[in-house]
Amino acid sequence: MKYILMFLIITCALKLSAQTNFNKTMFFGPFGYKIKYAVPNNYIHDTIPNTMFTIFNFGSASICDSNGNLLIISNGMNLYNAHGTAYIENGDTMASSGWYNENQGFDRYIQTCLILPFENKKYYHVQVSMSDTQLYKAINISDFRMDRLYYSIIDMNMNGGQGKVVQRMKTLIDNKYLFRSAMQACKHANGKDWWVLKIGADSTEGYSVYKYLFTQDSVIDMGKQLLNISYKGDWGQGQMQFNKTGDKWACSLSNTTDGEVLLADFDRCTGLL
């Protein structure tokens, strides 16, 4: 049953996100694989040249402009142009040197980065990461929890429409244990701003959800909400998803045999689960 439910969550996520122009084309995979949503229940598949030989694995994200044309691609640690052939200015090596090198320059975990669209061709890139201090600790005791959450701002008006990272790796969370995966965004009820939710993994408090409100001009820390579930020492491969209307939330917290999925109502005005 758990496998069927997770399949439904993942499939729902692809279909619902594909119904907006910002997500009309998705870019992923080691060879620059592209899937374009054409008409309902119809997808066009092709590849585009990937001359940088980078990998767009589980932690990748991409976004289109308001017309549905692919605009920005992320592999979780670098930002690329629409063809994956060049970095957006100031968009390379967006991680600590140790974590970047450990992962060969691409993120290996699901739901570790997001790209949020705003007016005037402004985009936020949100990414989960690990400090070198936590990395060296993790190597010694196999504690691969993340401990950083960053955001960067991209202005696609610059460089003749090729874009530039104008604010780079601004810290939202530092030195706090985070789930390796399970991060998602939902539109605020005002239709302009975005909620970003990230699962925490602090052994003294149990699982929690860190919440941030992204607006055109600022990022607001909305605190965290403890979940009604005990911490089981897992830091891994969970996924988070909202339904189409944004008032229902689902999250898996483990890839273990427990197969638990949390379900909750979500208030798009207050951010309360």
- State the DSSP string of 185-223: EEE-TTSS-EEEEEEEEETTTEEEEEEEEE-SS-EEEEE
Question: Is the distance from CB of 128 to CB of 157 less than 8 angstroms?
Answer: no
The closest of 196, 187, 249, 193 to 222, measured between CA atoms, is: 196
* Region of poorest pLDDT, from 27-41, 121-135, 146-160, 240-254: 27-41
- Tokens encoding 164: 């530039």
- 3-state SS, residue 121: helix
Which tens digits make up the pLDDT trace of 175-223? 998 988 899 999 999 999 999 999 988 766 667 899 999 999 999 999 9
pLDDT at 229: 73
Cα end-to-end distance, the chain, whole Å? 25
The whole-chain average pLDDT of the chain stands at: 82
pTM of the complete model = 0.85
Q: What does the pLDDT read at residue 83?
A: 78
How far is the CA of 9 from the CAs of 90, 121, 179, in angstroms?
35, 30, 19
Mean pLDDT of 80-95: 91
Q: What is the pLDDT of residue 192?
A: 95
